[in-house]
């Protein structure tokens, strides 16, 4: 069996930010935080701003915002009307 996938924690994101600021490459950062280089590259691309760069707190907020909360019927009024009489 493969590894169990785990989300990046705020501590991981802070470490990524610090290592990036120190000028390390994506592969070096990945080795330091024991993650795949693709995970680090995706994290930096998805949550890095053009003007301000990568901010761990912003990345953590964006991650929470992308997560669904509540049931689909609660989030989609049109679906709720179609299902419930």
For residue 64 the two structure tokens come to 């929470």
Cβ(20)–Cβ(44) below 8 Å:
yes
pTM: 0.73
28-53 confidence digits (pLDDT tens):
999 999 999 999 999 999 988 778 88
Query: Is residue 48 a contact partner of residue 54, using CB atoms and an 8 Å limit?
Result: yes
**Burial class for 13, CB neighbours closer than 10 Å (0-12, 13-18, 19+):** buried
Over the stretch 49-70, which tens digit does the pLDDT of each residue have? Answer: 778 889 999 899 888 888 877 7
């Amino acid at each position: 069996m493969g590894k169990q996938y785990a989300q990046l924690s705020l501590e991981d994101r802070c470490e990524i930010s610090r290592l990036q600021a120190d000028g390390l490459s994506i592969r070096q950062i990945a080795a330091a935080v024991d993650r795949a280089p693709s995970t680090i590259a995706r994290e930096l691309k998805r949550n890095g701003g053009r003007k301000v760069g990568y901010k761990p707190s912003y990345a953590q907020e964006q991650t929470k915002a992308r997560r669904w909360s509540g049931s689909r019927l609660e989030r989609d009024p049109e679906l709720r009307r179609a299902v419930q009489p």
